């Protein structure tokens, strides 16, 4: 009896610390954020919708939120596209050759992002190798640079998050059994078919989680756009940071944060739901193929 | 007569002399009796309060040591005081705009101006400024000043005399503009010919939106400006006089202009924190930092990376060697006859409106 009670209690008791941390770090701050957003005149004053009225009173902030989500989304997709091939090559390498490369990839990820931002100045500035190359191709005027513009922010976000994306994709691709590919090849499947029907389906869970993992910090980014984005490259994160500090308006900042949070939840929900939907679709098609005409 | 000094009278004279030393020293606010005390000073980094040479002199004068703590923005300073700084920090260096908000929150204590030796030689426009006062009491001693005025690359632009050069479509993508609500509003008001303390906000908004089309960079630190200017990304903008001086000292060509349509002037002040643990030493600090001896030493022999500014104490400006005063652009500022928009005295509610408007301009 006693033993059964103990074994029944083990799981809830062991979960307690985690639940406590979750409450302390996630639920309480989130509740405070919601509360602040309804308390524009300080915690003592009666609650009101003023902050939200201001938010929706102009199209400005919705437009900026949309721009932020599009920037983060585009940067996530570019990151994934750039990370795909290196991750695949790494996953096919023997361990001895792989580890030094993995180490080299992780170094920028361990470097302070502020340092990375300032190093981008050298790479993208006027007269830099990149701009000289673009000039030779006739794509840039002499002395031009893409600093202080939206593309500079995008380049920075991709640069910062590329190592993480490579790692996530790599760990998924490692599980793709080489025998499947050999078998498919022997049955006459082309490179494209093998990618389309074996590698992609097996790696897609890690692609989805990689996209979400880089999209979330990109959506909240503000330092990158403040330093590199120029006057037209600001993101919602910049406005939120300003409201929390200089403008001393935590209520409006909280309302904006909630807007951003809801937007990101919607998008990550869609990305997370994409895979089950695709699986269901392909299962459907297979079933149709299987049915004799 | 000398023969009349016997051993006893010699001892008496000696005794009187010994007694007199601390008395004289105390009357100068520099009693060495602060030995063993540590004054905690909150300021910007590399900005006078942590200049090694002058700190050493202060420590010799008072026998005390100084502990520097740094804030990175004026709001950071307020947070520092609200969250545990009171009772630990002795003196702080708020901008004029922040004295009243801090005084209203009871973060500072009133200052007895009769104990401030340089008080009467402080520039009247600062000494009489209502924004260092709250309920009739003085809460801050104005220390240094500077203009946030027009800076241009002389190779690209001759000498413009009006802010309108920033709005000129020919300069699209070449302008840096300070990311600060009150500087932005006041500069646009001067350009429009409006009252900088109380302009028509809708006109200002339209002007700032028009300016944004020309802006390459909203800068918030000297580093932002330097990077963009030295690589040629920008050729003009508004800039702190101190930074213009630093750029020149580092061999860069830059013209700093106080335009005919007016300029924006700011001031930094010393204030004593409520419940300061070392009150008398705090007064000694404020007296030393506002003295002409201090300014001459700091401005002519600054430590590495020190960012200098123009003293508010006129006597100190007069005591400076001409070359030092010129490199600080002190003369033009003191003698400037145009409209001065002093960055102070904006009621908090109005400043909030300005801030909102500026945020909206940036977000557009």
Identify the band that residue B25 occupies on the pLDDT scale cut at 50, 70 and 90.
very low
Please indicate, yes or no, whether residues B230 and B343 belong to a single structural domain of this protein: yes
> Which ipTM did the prediction report?
0.81
Q: Is B2 within the bounds of a domain?
A: no
Distance, CA of B134 to CA of A132 (rounded, Å): 59
Mean pLDDT confidence for B190-206: 96
Angle at A35 between CA A29 and CA A39, to 5 degrees: 135
The verdict on A126 touching B (C-beta cutoff 8 Å) is yes
Residues near A289 by beta carbon (within 8 Å), at least 6 away in sequence: none
From A126, A234, A239, residue closest to B233, measured CB to CB: A126
Residue B311: name the closest of B340, B297, B303, B271 by CA. Answer: B297
Distance, CA of B161 to CA of B261 (rounded, Å): 8
Please indicate, yes or no, whether residues B225 and B320 belong to a single structural domain of this protein: no
Task: Give the closest-approach CA distance of B102 to chain A in angstroms.
Answer: 14
Residue scoring higher pLDDT (A98 or B12): A98
Q: What is the dihedral of CA A28, A30, A34, A36, to 10 degrees?
A: 70
Residue scoring higher pLDDT (B248 or B170): B170
Q: Is B333 within the bounds of a domain?
A: no
Rounded to 10°, the helix B181-192/B348-363 angle is 90
Task: Give the closest-approach CA distance of B352 to chain A in angstroms.
Answer: 7
For residue B327, give both structure tokens: 């490199």
Structural domains of chain A sorted by starting position, each given as residue range(s) with its CATH number in brackets: 61-290 (1.10.3720.10)
From A60, A239, A245, residue closest to B73, measured CB to CB: A245
Q: Any idea which of A235-239, A289-293, B4-8 has the lowest mean pLDDT?
A: B4-8
Largest Cα–Cα distance in chain B? 90
Please indicate, yes or no, whether residues B201 and B104 belong to a single structural domain of this protein: no
Q: What are A112-166's pLDDT values in tens digits?
A: 888 999 898 888 888 888 888 888 888 888 777 889 999 999 999 999 999 999 9
Nearest-Cα residue of chain A relative to residue B231 = A126
Contact A125 B215 (CB under 8 A): no
Q: What mean pLDDT is reported for chain B?
A: 89
Mean pLDDT confidence for B203-207: 98
Q: What is the CATH number of the domain that holds B92?
A: 3.40.190.10
Please count the CA atoms within 13 angstroms of the CA of B35 that sit on its side-chain side.
3
Work out the percent of chain B whose per-residue pLDDT is above 70: 91
Residues of A in contact with B217 (CB under 8 A): 148, 230-231
Q: Is B287 within the bounds of a domain?
A: yes
Residues near A82 by beta carbon (within 8 Å), at least 6 away in sequence: A158, A162, A165
Q: Is B334 exposed, middle or buried (CB count within 10 Å of its CB: 0-12, 13-18, 19+)?
A: middle
Each as own residue / partner, the long-range contacts of residues B43-47 (CB below 8 Å, 24 or more positions apart, any chain) are: B43/B68, B43/B69, B43/B70, B43/B71, B43/B92, B43/B93, B44/B70, B44/B71, B44/B72, B44/B93, B44/B307, B45/B70, B46/B305, B46/B306, B46/B307, B47/B93, B47/B306, B47/B307, B47/B309
Residues near B283 by beta carbon (within 8 Å), at least 6 away in sequence: B29, B115, B116, B272
Largest Cα–Cα distance in chain A? 83
Please indicate, yes or no, whether residues B190 and B291 belong to a single structural domain of this protein: no
For residue B141, give both structure tokens: 């001693």
Cβ–Cβ under 8 Å, residues A275 and A205 = yes
Task: Give the closest-approach CA distance of A239 to chain B in angstroms.
Answer: 7
Mean pLDDT confidence for A41-50: 86
Please indicate, yes or no, whether residues B127 and B81 belong to a single structural domain of this protein: yes
pLDDT at A62: 94
Please indicate, yes or no, whether residues B65 and B121 belong to a single structural domain of this protein: yes
Residue B274 has pLDDT above 60, yes or no: yes
Work out the percent of chain B whose per-residue pLDDT is above 90: 71
Residues of A in contact with B364 (CB under 8 A): 60
Mean pLDDT confidence for A91-104: 90
Please indicate, yes or no, whether residues B232 and B309 belong to a single structural domain of this protein: no
Task: Give the closest-approach CA distance of B20 to chain A in angstroms.
Answer: 51
Please indicate, yes or no, whether residues B63 and B140 belong to a single structural domain of this protein: yes
The verdict on A238 touching B (C-beta cutoff 8 Å) is yes
Please indicate, yes or no, whether residues B20 and B102 belong to a single structural domain of this protein: yes
Residues of A in contact with B215 (CB under 8 A): 230-231
Q: Is B331 within the bounds of a domain?
A: no
pLDDT at A291: 57
Residues near B89 by beta carbon (within 8 Å), at least 6 away in sequence: B40, B41, B42, B69, B80, B81, B273, B276
Task: Give the closest-approach CA distance of A246 to chain B in angstroms.
Answer: 6
Nearest-Cα residue of chain A relative to residue B221 = A227
Please indicate, yes or no, whether residues B19 and B79 belong to a single structural domain of this protein: yes
Best of B231, B237, B357 to disrupt the A interface (most A CBs within 10 Å) is: B231
Q: How far from the centroid of its chain's Cα atoms is residue A154's Cα? A: 12
Residue B267 has what DSSP assignment? E
Please indicate, yes or no, whether residues B55 and B191 belong to a single structural domain of this protein: no
For residue A244, give both structure tokens: 């929390």
How many helices, marked H, and strands, marked E, lie in chain B? 16, 13
Domain encompassing residue B33: 8-144+268-326
Q: Any idea which of A71-80, A240-249, B172-181, B334-343 has the lowest mean pLDDT?
A: A240-249
Please indicate, yes or no, whether residues B129 and B160 belong to a single structural domain of this protein: no
Q: Is B332 within the bounds of a domain?
A: no
Q: What are A16-33's pLDDT values in tens digits?
A: 999 999 989 999 999 999
Mean pLDDT confidence for B214-234: 91
Nearest-Cα residue of chain B relative to residue A233 = B363
The count of structural domains within chain B is 2
Q: Is B181 within the bounds of a domain?
A: yes
Residues of B in contact with A239 (CB under 8 A): 359, 362-363
Q: What are B91-127's pLDDT values in tens digits?
A: 999 999 899 989 999 999 999 999 999 999 999 989 9
Best of A127, A140, A148 to disrupt the B interface (most B CBs within 10 Å) is: A148
Q: Is B222 within the bounds of a domain?
A: yes
Task: Give the closest-approach CA distance of B117 to chain A in angstroms.
Answer: 34
What three-state secondary structure class fits B33? helix
Cβ–Cβ under 8 Å, residues B41 and B90 = yes
Q: Is B18 within the bounds of a domain?
A: yes
């Amino acid at each position: 009896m006693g033993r059964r009670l103990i074994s029944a209690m083990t799981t809830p008791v062991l979960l307690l610390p985690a639940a406590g941390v979750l409450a302390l770090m996630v639920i309480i701050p989130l509740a405070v954020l919601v509360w602040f957003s309804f308390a524009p005149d300080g915690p003592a004053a009666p609650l009101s919708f003023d902050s939200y009225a201001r938010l929706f009173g102009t199209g400005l902030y919705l437009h900026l939120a949309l721009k932020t989500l599009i920037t983060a989304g585009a940067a996530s997709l570019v990151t994934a596209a750039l990370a795909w091939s290196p991750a695949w090559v790494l996953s096919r390498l023997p361990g001895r050759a792989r580890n030094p490369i993995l180490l080299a990839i992780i170094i920028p990820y361990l470097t302070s992002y502020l340092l990375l931002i300032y190093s981008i100045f050298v790479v993208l500035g006027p007269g830099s190798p990149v701009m000289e190359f673009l000039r030779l191709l006739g794509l840039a005027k002499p002395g031009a640079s893409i600093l202080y513009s939206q593309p500079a922010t995008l380049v920075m976000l991709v640069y910062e998050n590329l190592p993480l994306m490579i790692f996530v994709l790599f760990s998924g691709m490692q599980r793709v059994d080489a025998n499947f590919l050999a078998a498919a090849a022997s049955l006459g499947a082309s490179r494209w078919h093998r990618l389309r029907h074996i590698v992609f389906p097996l790696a897609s869970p890690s692609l989805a989680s990689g996209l979400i993992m880089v999209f979330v910090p990109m959506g909240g980014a503000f330092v990158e756009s403040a330093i590199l984005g120029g006057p037209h490259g600001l993101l919602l994160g910049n406005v939120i940071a300003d409201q929390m500090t200089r403008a001393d308006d935590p209520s409006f900042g909280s309302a904006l944060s909630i807007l951003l949070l809801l937007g990101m939840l919607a998008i990550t929900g869609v990305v997370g739901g994409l895979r089950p939907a695709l699986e269901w679709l392909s299962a459907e098609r297979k079933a149709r193929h299987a049915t004799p005409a | 007569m000398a023969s009349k000094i016997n051993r006893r009278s010699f001892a008496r004279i000696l005794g009187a002399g010994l007694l007199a030393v601390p008395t004289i020293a105390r009357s100068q606010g520099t009693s060495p009796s602060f030995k063993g005390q540590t004054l905690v000073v909150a300021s910007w980094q590399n900005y006078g309060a942590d200049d090694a040479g002058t700190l050493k002199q202060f420590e010799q004068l008072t026998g005390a040591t100084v502990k520097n703590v740094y804030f990175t923005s004026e709001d950071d300073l307020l947070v520092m005081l609200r969250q545990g700084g009171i009772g630990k920090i002795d003196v702080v260096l708020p901008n004029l705009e922040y004295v009243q908000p801090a005084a209203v929150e009871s973060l500072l204590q009133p200052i007895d101006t009769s104990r401030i030796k340089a008080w009467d030689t402080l520039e009247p426009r600062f000494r009489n400024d209502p924004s260092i006062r709250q309920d009739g009491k003085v809460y801050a001693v104005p220390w240094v000043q500077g203009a946030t005025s027009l800076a241009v690359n002389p190779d690209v632009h001759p000498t413009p005399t009006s802010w309108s050069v920033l709005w000129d479509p020919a300069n699209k993508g070449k302008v840096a503009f300070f990311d600060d609500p009150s500087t932005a509003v006041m500069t646009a008001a001067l350009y429009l010919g409006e009252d900088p303390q109380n302009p028509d906000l809708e006109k200002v908004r339209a002007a700032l939106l028009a300016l944004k089309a020309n802006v390459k960079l909203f800068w918030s630190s000297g580093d932002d400006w330097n990077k963009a200017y030295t690589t040629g990304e920008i050729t003009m903008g508004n800039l702190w006089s101190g930074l213009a001086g630093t750029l020149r000292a580092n061999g860069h060509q830059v013209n700093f202009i106080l335009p005919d349509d007016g300029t924006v002037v700011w001031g930094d002040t010393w204030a004593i924190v409520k419940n300061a643990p070392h009150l008398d030493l705090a007064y000694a600090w404020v007296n030393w930092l506002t003295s002409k001896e201090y300014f001459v030493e700091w401005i002519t022999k600054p430590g590495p990376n020190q960012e200098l500014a123009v003293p508010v104490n006129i006597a100190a400006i007069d005591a400076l060697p001409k070359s030092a005063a010129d490199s600080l652009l002190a003369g033009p500022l003191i003698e400037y006859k145009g409209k001065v928009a002093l960055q102070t005295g904006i009621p908090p509610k109005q400043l909030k409106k300005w801030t909102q408007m500026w945020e909206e301009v940036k977000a557009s």
